[in-house]
Chain A
Amino acid sequence: MFERLQVIDRRIIYVLLILVIALALLKPIGLPVKVGPMTQKMYDTIDALPAGSVLWLGMDLAVSTKAEQYPMVSVLLDHAFRKNLKVVSFAMWPNGGQIFDTLVAPVAKKYNKQNGTDYLNIGYKPGGNVALRAMVTDINTAAAGVDQNGQPLANTQLGQQVKKLTKDYVSFIVDVAAGDPGTTDYLNYVSTPEKIPMATAVVNVSVPGEMPYVQSGQYQGLMGGLRGAAEYEIMAKAPGKAASGMDSQSLGAALVVLFIIFGNVGYLTSRGKK
């Protein structure tokens, strides 16, 4: 009987997963979310920045990571605008600039922040880490003089104020990254040589690879996956889609673990018989 646990039709598992996730969304049970030290460190660092400081937001993500990373960007913007920080966004991924425009609009409206004065979307520029490094020399040249929507950077207050990606102009960097190019490019080509403190907000799959940089003090915190975004939402008192999705994620993961145990029980039982 136990041998059959090894050959459960994957479609049964999919249906159960869909049901568990849908039910947890429809009837949340409110599983507790404890704030971890990496997210806490990131929040505290940003919270300690004086008003008017420039927060550089790397938008190295795509629509495919919407579930995890849209809440990260929204809550970071909420925190930054509440603290009256200036936000400059730059994307090494083609979708990044447009995603920033989509997500900044409701938060800017909430805090009455203006494009060009309180935030600036340089947008996507090709070249990956070469374009990033060029920002250290001169943002206007590296960006071909225009923002995400083709408007001259020189016509904006922040475009005139933030001339280079150096510590003279930028106080802190957060890179919201879904892969490469992304966080390690900021670490190698900007944060380390220019001595600008940074943190990262990465998808869950990248967390194990990025954790050593937090332990070594090279990142001032890390927001990892949906869980990290939910923790940040709790600290920022800005509950959003991350917090509301945590029940579904936890129960879905528990179901997968259950089936892994089933499979192993089936395997061990059949091996014993042989």
Chain B
Amino acid sequence: MGANIFDPANLTGAIMTLAVLTFLIKDNPVFDLFQNGFVGLYFAYSIGLTYHSYIRPTIVDDIAKKGQYSYIIPVVLGLLVYFMFVPSLNWIARYPMSFWVGYGAGYILAFQPGSLMPQIYNTFIKFYGKASFLDNLNAILLFISVVTALAYFFFTVRKQGTAVGFAAETGRWVIMIALGAAFGSTVLYRITLFVGRMQFLLGDWLGILK
């Protein structure tokens, strides 16, 4: 791979990457500048993209040209949100918010149980006809783990010296193991992101990777 050190895109990317990595030494103004720049760039891009690929076609084509005037209702409802910046009339902004909350809650209740149910009945022990010993062991462990982890969150029953208490203590270990696995995945994810940046710096920018 040839070196593209002075290619504008590679050079910009390399400078921004190195600027962000200066945070590893300590927090500094260069890092803040590029971090804020990235956030600003991302939001500016999102707003521009949303306008050109959705808002403008909806208003110009659907409403103005095709006469689909019913679309004006959600447009007006959405614009009401900006009343939150007018202190004397900010109560008006609650109407679109209440609509969204109500719609969202109903939407979730309508669709989520369908995908949640298989999770519930797959939790219960399934001894497969031709399953291996390890598969059966896995099914038993899954069942015990779910029940004991749920028992940990029973805060309204007496736990000391009871079966619920023993289950809750087991559940605490199960939760710790699950959190450990999640933490391990997070660390690995961060390392991968850094590997990606190194591939860019050493390969795309400096051209010293084969």
Number of residue pairs across A and B with beta carbons under 8 Å? Answer: 141
A6 at the interface (CB under 8 A from B): no
Q: Nearest-CB distance from A163 to chain B (Å)?
A: 17
User: Which one of B25, B46, B58, B122 lies within 8 Å of A11 (CB-CB)?
Assistant: B25
0/1 interface trace, chain A 62-81, chain B, CB 8 Å (1 if under)? 00111110000000000000
Q: Which residues of B contact A64 (CB under 8 A)?
A: 193
A245 at the interface (CB under 8 A from B): yes
Spot the interface stretch: B28-36, B81-89, B150-158, B178-186. Answer: B178-186
A68 CA / B203 CA spacing, docked (Å): 16
Q: Are A67 and B111 in contact (CB under 8 A)?
A: no
For residues 170 through 210 of chain B, which have their beta carbon under 8 Å from a beta carbon of chain A? 178, 181-182, 185-189, 191-199, 202-203, 208-209
User: Which one of B24, B52, B61, B188 lies within 8 Å of A204 (CB-CB)?
Assistant: B188
Q: Are A217 and B118 in contact (CB under 8 A)?
A: yes
A67 CA / B25 CA spacing, docked (Å): 23
Q: Which residues of A contact B182 (CB under 8 A)?
A: 205, 208-209
A232 CA / B117 CA spacing, docked (Å): 30
Q: Nearest-CB distance from B38 to chain A (Å)?
A: 9
Q: Which residues of A contact B112 (CB under 8 A)?
A: 188
Q: Are B188 and A253 in contact (CB under 8 A)?
A: yes
A168 CA / B185 CA spacing, docked (Å): 37
User: Which one of A97, A130, A225 lies within 8 Å of B192 (CB-CB)?
Assistant: A225
Q: Are B189 and A203 in contact (CB under 8 A)?
A: yes
Q: Which residues of B contact A21 (CB under 8 A)?
A: 191, 194-195, 198
Q: A125-B54, A144-B53, A188-B111 are in contact. Are A253 and B191 (CB under 8 A)?
A: yes
Q: Which residues of B contact A191 (CB under 8 A)?
A: 115
Q: Are A216 and B192 in contact (CB under 8 A)?
A: no
A17 at the interface (CB under 8 A from B): yes
Instruction: Please classify the interface of chain B as helix (H, G, I), strand (E, B), loop, or mixed, using the class held by over half of its residues.
Output: helix
Instruction: Please classify the interface of chain A as helix (H, G, I), strand (E, B), loop, or mixed, using the class held by over half of its residues.
Output: helix
B163 at the interface (CB under 8 A from A): no
B40 at the interface (CB under 8 A from A): no
Q: Are B192 and A226 in contact (CB under 8 A)?
A: yes
B62 at the interface (CB under 8 A from A): yes
Q: Nearest-CB distance from A263 to chain B (Å)?
A: 13
Q: Are A245 and B192 in contact (CB under 8 A)?
A: yes
Q: Are A144 and B61 in contact (CB under 8 A)?
A: yes
User: Which one of B115, B187, B189 lies within 8 Å of A68 (CB-CB)?
Assistant: B189
Given A67-B199, A150-B52, A150-B53, 15 other A-B residues pairs in contact with their CB atoms under 8 A: A21-B194, A22-B202, A64-B193, A67-B194, A67-B196, A94-B49, A124-B50, A125-B53, A144-B57, A184-B115, A192-B114, A193-B111, A208-B185, A217-B118, A253-B188
Which A residues lie at the B interface, using CB under 8 A?
Answer: 11, 14, 17-18, 21-22, 25-26, 64-68, 94-95, 97, 123-126, 129-130, 133, 144-146, 148, 150, 184, 187-189, 191-193, 203-209, 212-213, 215-218, 225-226, 241, 244-245, 248-249, 252-253, 256
